[in-house]
Amino acid sequence: MAILKIVTVPDPLLRKKSRELAEITDRTLRLLDDMRDTLHKAQGVGLAGVQVGVLRRIVIVETVPGELYEMINPVITKRSEKMQRCKEGCLSVPDRWGETVRPYAVTVEYTDRNGKRCTLDAEDFLAQAISHELDHLDGVIYTDVAVSMDDEETK
């Protein structure tokens, strides 16, 4: 597998809206594998296609080691009214951290790598990560929705 270059701010690509993936091909599967390897090398918890230069609606999220969610054409169908304050960073915004307010729980529908339609109910950190990654698909970076920013390096 390959380690992909992560697109970082201020690259205008990060502001573009990603398009739906029409079909799952060998190239799609290779992209998912490369994104996983890139995520692990970067020690992140999520990665969207646009962050590796691919404007397709595809994300991966792994908040717990070994529990990788590969989501093709994901859509959040439900958000809880209960909100959570979150400390957030992003592989595309290196060495910056901020605080956001995100839904405590979300329901997301997506297609997996095998073409199966899936529904996932996520809470807490997983809901935060999914919300963050799906924002990328619409050209939104967490700094756009942050209620405060802390420029101290905390890694």
Q: Which residues are catalytic?
A: 133
For CA atoms 69, 97, 40, 31, give the dihedral sign. Answer: positive
Q: Give me 32's structure tokens.
A: 């998912």
Q: Which residues, 6+ apart, have CB-to-CB distance to 22 below 8 Å? A: none
| Closest listed residue to residue 72, CA positions, set 89, 94, 49, 95 | 49
Other beta carbons within 10 angstroms of residue 2's beta carbon come to 12
Distance, in Å, from the CA atom of 111 to the CA atom of 37, rounded to the nearest integer, reads 20
As a residue count, the chain comes to 155
